[in-house]
Structure 1
């Protein structure tokens, strides 16, 4: 229920740890005491969505909780994002995620998200399928986890199912697009007119989000290597939809009632840490925590130094463990 200010340690070297083949990836999972799997899930809309799971080993103690994870815009669940579920699975949590529509290996035009409400429906259907598939986990506490755009989707999922989750971990949530990357007037007004006719057109003039998200130069090189990463300019329809959703969310912060921890870097120029402060202050949740990390940027769990990542991980793990007791 308090706000902490964490100083950023010095930068350290980084390596790209997991392999490029399924065998190498399985070996990496085994080294961390977890098991992973992949599959495709057909959502009610008929889209084929690529999914991953990261579970504690079968011969160890049963999981302490289930975590349903949502990645951010332009990202996917098969590259740097999975560093976090690998860590959490190693600490006893069963983690599940899928590539959102238009991302990674899922169906859809690359980076085109015309209807976030439909994506929320995909999330609810996927969560329901996991609960059916893993009936042995019935009764375990369920949590939401979202990064950036994924944080906004988690809040919308909470609004759609207020009793389904023990809590939410919100990492730099996109409750509002920062004015530092938002196109200036009159560009949004012009683009909105063009989008009615050409919503998939990738012409929105914004800087590369990855370059403004990742602090450590070596990790920028790793992010660039991701073969699933979307490298084009944002599509008109996606940007207008995100502006719509974040505008609505910023007006509904007081409706948030789920227990949550929100984590944000003070140097984030993609999503606004002041909006996370507003979420903390306005939410009617009785159980709420905020962590603002001085000097950290948008990519808290990949783009920072290893020491900084460890700080954020420990805060998330401690919060989860406290709510599984």
Structure 2
């Protein structure tokens, strides 16, 4: 499947026109619907999203993704996330749009939320507000960042006065630290919709920190089926956040956590045979819940 096979359209969500992508399935009777959330500075057609979508599409699922505000082709200041509340409100609105258009009208009984990196935190946050009948899948989720308490206070103060200034150094802009497969790494590097910068906006950095804290606070109430896939050589996020979520979700009767030794942050941009294992685990988990 190429980007030419994907149908994209602009949808009005809040104050922005957001670009929504539909990864087609060749079957007239899809098994389920999945909505994918991309990571920070990525977009709905970025390799980490595209390859996850392809795996699900091959299981006869209707798959959707979208470019968050300030990302990809959507409106908004490039790379700027104003607040955790705004990000989650937008994600909830997009989820309801997909549910209303592709589930309620077509009688699909299963609905999955899938998130990569920051998208994992977003998918988790949405599941805390909207019923998800299939499950939530988190790929190397951003649930804890290496930011000290004093750094958090400094970020909050700077974000209050200089939110759009880009000066925070971040590993999240480094393809070499995230993607093992050289072809996919180059694909990420060459993506024209990704900002070519080694820094991120102050407000966005603060939003990422606040987002991880906000969604983790309600982990104990999680009841939806949950799959967490962790890269053990991840240097972008701290796996302790996902591990704590798994341990804290005591009301969740159906939860699975898998670790991949040697894997980098972009799990679906790994080389084989590790990539085969990641894809197999993802498919088997989904099929067991269909």
Matched, 1:129 2:94: no
Larger radius of gyration between Structure 1 and Structure 2 = 1
* Residue aligning to 1:253: 219
1:223 corresponds to: 188
SS of the equivalent of 1:301 reads helix
Once the two structures are TM-superposed, the CA of residue 279 in structure 1 deviates from its matched residue by 1.6
Q: How far off its partner does 1:84 sit?
A: 1.8
The RMSD of aligned alpha carbons is: 2.0
Distance, in Å, in 1 between the alignment partners of 2:153 and 2:86 is 25
**1:142 is matched with which residue?**
111
Alpha-carbon contact 2:55-2:283 (below 8 Å) kept: no
* 2:267 match: secondary structure: coil
Partner SS, residue 161 of structure 2: coil
- Helix, strand or coil: the match of 1:258? coil
Cα contact 1:265–1:293 (8 A) shared by 2: yes
Q: Are residue 244 (structure 1) and residue 213 (structure 2) matched?
A: no
2:32 is matched with 65
Post-superposition offset of 1:255:
2.5
Match for residue 69 of structure 2?
101
SS of residue paired to 2:266 = coil
1:212 aligns with 2:211: no
What is the aligned length? Answer: 285
Structure 2 residue aligned with 1:292: 259
Report how far residue 64 of structure 1 moved.
0.7
Deviation at 1:192, TM superposition (A): 3.4
Give the distance between the partners of 1:201 and 1:52, measured in 2 at CA: 30
1:321 matched to 2:287? The reply is yes
- Which of 27, 33, 51 is equivalent to 1:83? 51
Partner deviation per Cα, 1:267-323 (whole Å, 9 max, x = no partner): 111112222222211112100000001111100012x10322221111111111111
Which whole-Å deviations, capped at 9, do the CAs of 1:14-62 have from their partners, x for residues lacking one?
Answer: xxx84xxx6xx23xxxxxxxxx31101101x2200001011211xx351
Once the two structures are superposed, what CA deviation does each residue of 1:230-281 show, in whole Å capped at 9, x if it has no partner? 2221110011111112123333322222111000111111112222222211
Query: Residue deviations 1:162-209, cap 9 Å, x none?
Result: x343210111111111x2xx4x68655444333221100000122334
SS of equivalent residue, structure 1 residue 212: coil
Q: Kindly indicate whether the alpha-carbon contact (under 8 Å) linking 2:230 and 2:260 is maintained by their aligned counterparts in 1.
A: yes
3-state SS of the aligned residue for 2:169?
coil
User: For residues 252 and 136 of structure 1, do their structure 2 counterparts lie closer, same or farther at Cα, with a shift above 3 Å needed?
Assistant: closer
- C-alpha spacing 1:41/1:176, structure 2 compared with 1 (3 Å): same
Match of 1:174 among 137, 142, 145: 142
Calculate the TM-score normalised by the size of structure 2: 0.91
Alpha-carbon contact 1:264-1:292 (below 8 Å) kept:
yes
Q: Is the 8 A contact 2:84 2:210 kept in 1?
A: no
